[in-house]
Structure 1
Amino acid sequence: MSTTYDTIIIGAGAAGLSAGIYAGRYGMKTLILSHELGGETAQAGVIENWPGDKEIEGFKLIFRFRDHALASGAEIINSPAVSAIREGELFHVTDKAGAVHIGKTVVLAQGSRRRRLGLPNEETLTGRGVHYCVTCDGPVYGGKTIAMVGGGDASVKGILLAAQYASKILFIVRGNELRAEPVNVEHMRALGDKVEVLFDTEVKEIIGTNALEKLVISKPYHDSTDLVVDGLFVEIGAEPETDIAKELGVILDEYGYVKTDCMMYTNVPGVSAAGDLVNHFGHFKQVITASATGTAAATAVFGYLKNARNEK
């Protein structure tokens, strides 16, 4: 007979694992589904603003979250949810392996997907010179020249990590200023000539057949719009993963994020949401805000079940 969980948490980043910790502590039978552990936190490189740790690598922090969630009684299955439907008072969540998991409540915490430039050849060359994760792919570019597209905190932190490997980094910024935290910009400036910022510049073309050969940019660099680099990293933000939310009938806000109240309840009874899926802090996406909303989302579904029991 299939197990019925008190809650199924979709996503195992900072939000999902924090929800798992609290759900377990509330005595809820808890399942966490995710295709990978850690989400954005695991790819963040060094984190310098997690309270109690002046400096900690993202993947190490997320392993602590995982261990805490498991110790609290949560079960983790490394298979992403691909669909979720409500049947009566229960939710049926199907994972990528085809298994159907049944839960009384759902916490949505899938996070976000990296934005693409939307250029021809981009998808073809992804993994062959075009990348979206410095933590994953930066070590390949030891002693080489790379380009980073961005301007916000994620791109600057990516540069700080990439600088451990690459010999030269060309930072392509569409605007005329950086939007990153001043302390991170200061760390980047300290790298000196290793990093060169190209303001008011965009990538217009990605050239290559079997691998990246060069970029075509909108503004000449050394009298040419051809920019020969070994690798391109794109850090231009992310979009919330809302496919399952939509399937469940969850309302999104005007920006495409899951709409919740201050306690992380959605409009669908028994469904809460957390992390980068919600927009409570605007563009301020941090490990600590993801963790906070995850704990609130777990508390929300715990309260839902408690009220449901009291009504019977």
Structure 2
Amino acid sequence: MKKEKILDLVIIGAGPAGLTAGIYSSRAKLDFIILENELVGGQIRETPSIENFPGFDSISGADLADKMQEHAEKAGAVIDEFGNITSVKLTDTEKIIETSDTIYKPKSVIIATGSKSRPLPVPEEKKLRGKGIHYCELCDGAMYDGKDIVVVGGGNSAIDAAIFLTKYAKNLTVVHRSEKLRAEMRSQDELFKHNNVKLLLNTQIKHVEGENSIENIVLENSKTGEKSSLKADAIFVYIGTMPKTELFKDFIDLTELGHIKTNENLETNIKGVFAAGDVREKEIRQLTTAVNDGSIASLMAEKYIRNS
């Protein structure tokens, strides 16, 4: 029989938003737990170098995640890493979060589940995921030392990944569907210092050929419709993210893209339920905005708990 715990607060997700919420909730002396079904730190663990977070000229995502986790735990946060949530019930009057071994009944909930990589939209993606199609340069880049590598995307994540992968690639090609890259110019300048880097704009991958590894890529020019082929050993994909909101869709109002709708106080349509970080609807998604969300969500949750 599962044990039952009544708490002030459950924070779902231990990325930057969730960990920051944990730090503030500890200082407020709330009785709470952070549930994380994957590694603590979220997507920033996959970032080779972070250069726009105040206080650090440059720091790896893994190191920053470790520092955030250490800070939260020293403040008093309890983190259940790999605490898989099996079901939730969220109403104005009742909140139930069920894991494999515990049923939590908090007064308030902060959803900070973040997002996951958007998959490469080709029919062969599932077959070749992990066999040439990848989403983490830190995890898988070394597998392709001296090989031909393709990076898909034009934002900061794509270009930062491409910079990292230049240390392995014999030839590196950046494929982007639009007319220009969206990444910061400083990153673009750094990438194109390398003479083995090629850029293909207005281009999309339509098919990836191969059975147990990539043999060939079929490209299409988005303006002319002209098709071409490209030899490559690996594709690293950075074409955006999807919010992790599947658990909450029956209770929480979502946008068409699946993000959680909130007001400026990060309140959802359910009383006592807040959302923070990349999972919620907003214009800018950065590490600094996630941390900001975490602090606001915790402060507003505390106010709700004290007045309930």
For the aligned pair, the TM-score class normalised by the smaller chain equals over 0.9
Q: Which residue of 1 aligns with 2:288?
A: 288
Q: Which residue of 2 aligns with 1:127?
A: 130
C-alpha contact (below 8 Å) 1:169/1:194 kept by paired residues: yes
Q: Which residue of 1 aligns with 2:273?
A: 271
1:306, CA displacement in angstroms?
Answer: 0.9
C-alpha contact (below 8 Å) 1:90/1:105 kept by paired residues: no
Counterparts of 1:63-74 in structure 2 under 5 Å? 63-74=66-77
Q: Which residue of 2 aligns with 1:17?
A: 19
Unaligned runs of 5+ residues in structure 2 are none
Q: Are residues 1:31 and 2:33 paired? A: yes
C-alpha contact (below 8 Å) 1:10/1:80 kept by paired residues: no
1:102, CA displacement in angstroms?
Answer: 2.6
- Aligned-partner SS, 2:173: strand
Unaligned runs of 5+ residues in structure 1 are none
1:90, CA displacement in angstroms?
Answer: 4.0
Aligned counterparts of 1:87 and 1:176: Cα–Cα separation in 2: 46
User: In structure 2, do the counterparts of structure 1 residues 71 and 89 end up closer, same or farther at CA, with 3 Å as the change threshold?
Assistant: farther
Q: Which residue of 1 aligns with 2:171?
A: 168
Q: Which residue of 2 aligns with 1:307?
A: 307
CA deviation map 1:171-204 (0-9, x unaligned): 011111001111111111222x221101111101
- Aligned-partner SS, 1:289: helix
Q: Which residue of 2 aligns with 1:4?
A: 6
1:20, CA displacement in angstroms?
Answer: 0.8
Name the TM-score, length of structure 2 as normaliser.
Answer: 0.92
Aligned counterparts of 2:91 and 2:229: Cα–Cα separation in 1: 56
CA deviation map 1:33-75 (0-9, x unaligned): 1122111211111000110100000010011111111112111
Match 1:92 to one of 89, 96, 106: 96
- Aligned-partner SS, 1:210: coil
- Which sits farther off after the overlay, 152-161 or 250-259? 250-259
Q: Which residue of 2 aligns with 1:83?
A: 87
Identity of aligned pairs, percent?
Answer: 34
C-alpha contact (below 8 Å) 1:29/1:73 kept by paired residues: no
- Aligned-partner SS, 1:170: strand
C-alpha contact (below 8 Å) 1:10/1:16 kept by paired residues: yes
Name the TM-score, length of structure 1 as normaliser.
Answer: 0.91
RMSD between superposed Cα atoms in Å: 1.9
Counterparts of 1:212-231 in structure 2 under 5 Å? 212-219=214-221, 225-231=228-234
- Aligned-partner SS, 2:268: coil
